[in-house]
Chains A and B, each alone.
Chain A
Amino acid sequence: MTRILAPVTVFGALIILWYGGAYVLNAPQAAALMDPDQPRNFWAVVQASWSMDRPELPTPDQILSSLYYSIFNYPLASPRNFLLQTAYTAEAAITGLVIGAALGIGLAIGIVHSRVLDRSLMPWVITSQTIPILAIAPMVVVALGNIGCTGLLPKAAIVGYLSFFPIAVGMVKGFRAADSLQLDLMRTYDASGPQVFFKLRWPSAVPFLFPSLKVAVALSVTGAIVAEIPTGAQVGLGARLLAGSYYGQTDMMWGALVLASALALGMIGVVRLGEASVRLSRGGRL
């Protein structure tokens, strides 16, 4: 019972805090904008601060209604439709994630099978985790744009670069997780390299793939949004965020933020599903 009740209570408290905060932040402006003839009691100011046009902090219902308006009152092809912008960001995030996963797994295979790579490359892979990689995003976009490469590809490249590291590190750990007794057994079977890899190392690495993927998903949405900021911010949720902050459209910023979070949580959900299906197919329980 607590498992459901507790999160719901905390979430409810958060919403109440939000409305309270909206009153505190918006009330001074809202009171100044109110009709002078109107009766000015406490409740009227509260209502005004919760329905301002350009509030400091929009209330959850304002954000949801502006999202609803943008999704259902504009055609899907219109840039004012938030669904289209989410699709652009999702496209970049997922393409980049696939590139990053392929590169990361490839590098992990190299590191596990070559002692030279393990000794000389692995320390750099670990060090690179402590570097703010996301900071190079504007430069990559500009540099790639210079050789005529714009649109999806620069964004996907940044996302791929970001999601590559957690997957590489996780998969190295995973490929090494194969038991040394079982590796010896494979040798007594006279198994070839690919056979050892596909029958032993890969299955033992799959459980490590999913936690790394979850980290990579969170990074990929962030990366896609940040990659949309430079070069004038044309499409995507990042562009909406920046445009909202330029024109003081708070509901636009919050809407983009809500959809970006929903996108990230949705992608994590897909990863969870994959994890659960692998566990089920191996005879585990949910």
Chain B
Amino acid sequence: MILGIAAVVLGLAARVLLGGSAIGAIVLASLAVICLNMALMRLAVQESGFAKIAAPALFGLGLLWSWEMLTVGLHVPFILLPPPSAIGLAIWRNLLTLAQDFDQTFLHAVLVGYAIGCGAGFLTALAIDRSKFLQAGLTPLANAFSAMPIIGIAPIAIEWFGFGWPSKAAVVVLMTFFPMLVNTQAGLQQSGAMERDLMRSYGAGYWRTLVKLRLPAAMPMIFNALKLNSTLALIGAVVAEFFGTPTVGMGFRISTESARMNLDIVWATITVAALSGVLSFGLIAWGERVVTFWHSSFHKRLI
């Protein structure tokens, strides 16, 4: 704990000194690295919940800090890699642009495409649930699709749906459809034969069995697809914008500003994209915890 705080303080002092005396900065920086190392070693052997969060947090801070120190101290060209402080400044200065890009890409293309793609995949899996023939036919097709570079459909989607967000949403729909289909289909097979027999002995029909037994049993796999798709959707929407877009959107910002060498704005956009990716993943993971609390992966280990 104390070592960690010492590392942070020494690191900050070294960053301040970097403008003035180089030797002082180097001495302080090496002290900070030693403190950081010792703190990480201590945290690695502790079993408390605090240590499990503090270790990666401290490591991440250390990574950001060495990025800052190295880029400023060694005068790395701004075009190659801007320091984190410059990126933070760029975020602050371009808040409005970043918010508009977020609205265009995330709130429209990603959310709409994700909802339609996951919904369609889920409903298709339900629709073909009773037909063994269709299931056997669609599975190899879905597997082949998951290996293909679906993102290449983007220029075709733009030709069909125009430059706006609907064409990006269309790409997202196609990218998220098959993982959802495959996972839901596999999930519906998860309930045991004994449980299904029990349902039959209760006189439950197909629909009642589906709602009361098979869908709940399928939830872990459905959430698996939802998590996988949240990343895929973001990638699909951002990359589809590289192929053509109105002058707004995260993908547009990244491709034009990197061509104009404004790397701080590019990194700022990437930070926004990364944060929205991590947050939406976290949100789905939280939903998973609430819905499938009974699943063995959430049980506390007894030993």
Contacts and interface: CB of A to CB of B under 8 A. Distances in A.
Interface in B57-98: 58-60, 63, 77, 79-81
B80 to A, nearest CB: 5
B52 interface: yes
Contacts of A134: 235, 238-239
B278 A138 contact: no
Interface in A236-281: 237-238, 241-242, 244-245, 248, 250, 253-254, 256-257, 260-261, 264-265, 268
A143 interface: yes
Contacts of B277: 130-132
Interface in A135-165: 135-139, 141-143, 146-147
B80 A116 contact: no
Contacts of A86: none
B147 A132 contact: no
Contacts of B141: 7, 10-11, 14
Residue picked from A2, A6, A238, most chain B C-beta under 10 Å:
A6
B245 interface: no
Contacts of A260: 148-149, 152
B159 A56 contact: yes
Contacts of B258: 138-139, 141-143, 230
A100 to B, nearest CB: 16
B302 interface: no
B156 interface: yes
A135 B281 contact: no
Interface in B130-161: 132-138, 140-141, 144, 146-153, 155-156, 158-160
A87 interface: no
Q: How large is the interface on A (under 10, 10 to 19, 20 to 34, 35 or more residues)?
A: 35 or more
A127 B277 CA distance: 9
Contacts of B77: 146-147
A42 B269 CA distance: 52
B149 A221 contact: yes
A43 interface: no
8 contacts: A118-B44, A122-B56, A132-B231, A218-B149, A225-B152, A226-B239, A254-B156, A257-B149
Given A135-B238, A143-B79, 7 more contacts: A25-B160, A129-B231, A130-B281, A131-B273, A139-B254, A143-B80, A245-B158
